[in-house]
Amino acid sequence: MAGAENNRAFLDYADYFRASGSGHHQVEVRMELRNKNVAVVGLGKSGLATARLLHSLGAEVLVLEKKPRAEVEPAASELEQLGVVVKAGGYGLADFRKTELVVLSPGVDEKDKIYVELGKKGVEVLGELELASRFITAPIIAVSGTDGKTTTVSLLGEIFSRELPGRVWVGGNIGAPAAELLISGQKPELVVLEVSSFQLAQARTFHPKVSVLLNIAPDHLDRHADLKDYCRAKQRLFMNQGPGDAAVLNSDDPLVKKMAETIKAELVWFGAGL
């Protein structure tokens, strides 16, 4: 990767992270969750980690899942042993009557009429990445794109782990959900996350120190209304970044290049023509 506006190579950010320390680079949105009624929707890997995190923070947790109980075992039993209430086999608006906060798994569409209605009633609806990121104190490198995310995140994890041995955590849409980091009690100096368009569509205050957008091609159009809607979700990767952050962009992708017009972070370009 090369060709930054100030000619600084992207991988020089290892020195930047070391110098800047592990202060909280997210928008400061700490949440008081003790005794709060929180509904987690979806009991896959992300939902399980989210429910466990919320329980550890003192919330009263209800997990709702459309799949039959048999298809979400042993996760359902594991949570019930903690005191979390699990309802499998379907749910409706009435199941949210006591809910003060809703956390959606990535596979749950935030545009569903249930969540739109809850939002109108003043209930905050957010995604599991958004929730976890509000409690992560290390700077975040977030990688998104239609293709190549997992390979890039794995490579960055290896590279930065050589510079910061034992102090880099890799996860997100690859491997462990971000909530797993918080449950583990680890205190990394750098977090590298793979993030999907689904997770970004559910984000509000998510603020990576470095955002990487590899490419954009039509994808997930069963969830996103059209290509423009998909692009809008991807562009949320940069929505909370400012001059002290970096946006790493593919100069060979016209849709990615167009996004640069509204990005406030420092632009760092890569591509075959540089």
CATH number at residue 125: 3.40.50.720
Q: Same structural domain for residues 75 and 180?
A: no
Q: Same structural domain for residues 59 and 145?
A: no
pLDDT score of 217: 85
Residue 1 in any domain: the answer is no
Buried b (16+ CB within 10 A) or exposed e, 34-44: eebbbbbbbbb
pLDDT score of 3: 40
Mean pLDDT by 10 residues, the chain (274 residues): 43 55 47 94 96 97 98 97 97 96 94 95 96 96 92 96 95 92 95 94 95 84 74 93 96 92 95 82
- Last residue within a domain, chosen from 116, 131, 146: 131
Domain that holds residue 169: 10-27+137-270
Q: Same structural domain for residues 16 and 61?
A: no
User: How is residue 165 written in tokens?
Assistant: 């041995």
Residue 46 in any domain: the answer is yes
With 0.75 as the threshold, say if the pTM is over it: yes
User: How is residue 139 written in tokens?
Assistant: 């700077």
Q: Same structural domain for residues 193 and 255?
A: yes
SS3 call for 250:
strand
Cα 141 to Cα 110, 160, 194, distances in angstroms: 24, 11, 9
CB 115 within 8 A of CB 39: no
CB 164 within 8 A of CB 186: no
Q: Same structural domain for residues 79 and 107?
A: yes
